[in-house]
Amino acid sequence: MIEVASFLPLAVGIVVLVAAGFAVYLTFKTNKPTPPGGGNYLHALEHWIEGELPEACTLLQRVVHDDPDAVDPFLQLGNLLRIQGDPERAAVLHRGLTVRSNLTMAQKLSIGLALAEDLNALTQWEGARDVLDSLPRTAMARSRYWKARFHQWHGIGDFPEAARTLRNAARQGQEKDRSWFNAAYASYQLDRALDYALANNGGEAKSLLKDVRNLPGTQSRSALVRAIMAAVANDAGAAVSIASDSLLDSPEELDVFLPLLQEVLLQSGQFARSLPILERACQTENAPPSLWIDLAMLYEKLGHRDKALRLLENKAGRKQFTPDAAAPYLKMLVDDVPDSDFAKVWKMLSMPSGPSGWGCRKCGRRDERIRWFCPSCLGFHTYGAGCAIGEVT
């Protein structure tokens, strides 16, 4: 049996430990930090995540009104205003935050990047440049820094420096985003190369193609640029050679190039040289319907209607084979028999037709040529043939 005298020191120690533990619990319970604005701030972020931006903005405005010393709610309200198309008010809020004295380094970086994004949205490129130049080197660890810097250089019109920014981001930025920056760099340079190719500036185009020759996923697009360079220079032989050697396994790129190739061949009296290219391309499973129709029309022009009809019979039942897709060939048939009842009805119809040219699915910008970078919204890989906003090709 344990004696009472020997048990007393142990009992006292246990009581002291329990009391100390309870005191710590009460301290943490009563002093536990609460988010600025309490539930309203959290609810605002929830609305934002759900895409309910007006509701999120209303709640954030309430939070900053009730707690004017808060930092994060002001920062996020500014970001939300910029997203909603009001970068001017966003810049006012973010500039106001920069003069506060109680900011952490992380907050200073976030506020500086947000202000640079505001100024970019306001096309105040030099102001954005000054803000980005003032940030510490640790900002380079954030992908937002590189994207804002790219936007600023592209906005100023220094395209080589914008390209270098994307390349440096792929080397120095966050590991998780490096593959994205690599792909963006390739698309940016290829888009510039295509501009030069269409302007018959082969030297600049070739220089840009060298920049991306070792990057994955660029082979077919580089071949398209080289083929266009040859076509614009009226080098029919080189254009056909590149199309035959490098574009047959890339029907989408061939579809982009084919009208220009046929124009060059027509001018040189070698129109039929596109026939084997089209025949090979149409054998691939992912060949677009426009290539089928182009081949059928070429057969028709060469007097081989039987081949054209057999080709289209083989495509019967495919969902892409619509009246809209077949309309160019049907028009040729109508013109061949202008007095038929079918031709008369055809001329009464308003055939369905999507938007012409190429469009950015993100902002709706339209161009006559394919692009791999949208100069309006700075989107990459957002273009599609005849696309309207929100469409997916």
DSSP 24-50: HHHHHHHH----TTTHHHHHHHHHHHT
CB 87 within 8 A of CB 121: yes
Average pLDDT of the chain, as a whole number = 83
Cα 248 from Cα 238, distance rounded (Å): 15
- Can you give the pLDDT at residue 325? 82
Q: How many residues does the chain have?
A: 393
- Can you give the pLDDT at residue 190? 96
Is the pLDDT at 280 greater than 60? The verdict is yes
Task: With cut-offs at 50, 70 and 90, classify the pLDDT of residue 2.
Answer: very low
3-state secondary structure string, 313-371?
A: HHCCCCCCCCHHHHHHHHHHHHHHCCCCHHHHHHHHCCCCCCCCCEEECCCCCEECCCC
Task: With cut-offs at 50, 70 and 90, classify the pLDDT of residue 26.
Answer: very low
The residue behind tokens 């060059």 is 264
What residues does 384 pair with on adjacent strands?
359
Residue 393, amino acid: T
Residues 46-84 have pLDDT tens digits of 888 888 889 989 999 998 888 888 899 999 999 999 999
Q: Identify the residue with better confidence: 345 or 391.
A: 345
Is the pLDDT at 389 greater than 70? The verdict is no
Element (H, E) at 116: helix 105-121
The mean pLDDT of 201-210, rounded to a whole number, is 96
Element (H, E) at 76: helix 72-83
What's the sign of the alpha-carbon dihedral 375, 289, 198, 250? positive
